[in-house]
Amino acid sequence: AARRSPLAPSPDALRHGCGLLSPPSSMPHAPLLVGDHGRRENQTPEPHRSGFDGFQACCPDLCSESPAPAMSPVGAENSRSDARAPFYDQGGPVEILPYLFLGSCSHSSDLQGLQACGITAVLNVSASCPNHFEGLFRYKSIPVEDNQMVEISAWFQEAISFIDSVKNAGGRVLVHCQAGISRSATICLAYLIQSRRVRLDEAFDFVKQRRGVISPNFSFMGQLLQFETQVLCH
């Protein structure tokens, strides 16, 4: 049998269509970040190169060619496929890393979708979304609102530690807020900046290609830029 690439989707993901995106043949290829194994320590993209071009130029061995995703997950019928649902609730959670998924409050309430993705823990980045299945999953709540006054960066290390604890236990975590657009996306971006030591623009491009609706508010973006400086300059 042919040897499966370490970047290829897992059999479970292929079976359930979880976090997989339809790749139109006309779209360009985009590099994918590789996991912790094989990483070059303390190596960051050249400052004059932006987006994935810089990351790929600096660390070509950490990238692999894969079709750039479209907006709609394959196999969405296994999760949320109601055309009447808001655009940010369509489909299911998307896979950012093999153990890290991003989605909305609606996705967090879909038990079948969570189980299809192999989710074992949920990071709820909101003050209003309930934890629907506390007897089935490990939960952590970050009770913040999506507004310019919130210091979401105060929660970065706590959130990163939670994600890493799920990863180290061999689990998978869904990070969500109300819409999966601003708060939860901010947490995922902070995680990539610290765990992969990449710049914000690289992290943003990476997540945007998987969940096209992400748009952290202006204040959150500023806090992420400050966090990038703290992480990459030390």
Active site residues: 177
Give yes or no for a contact between 175 and 121, defined as CB atoms under 8 angstroms apart. no
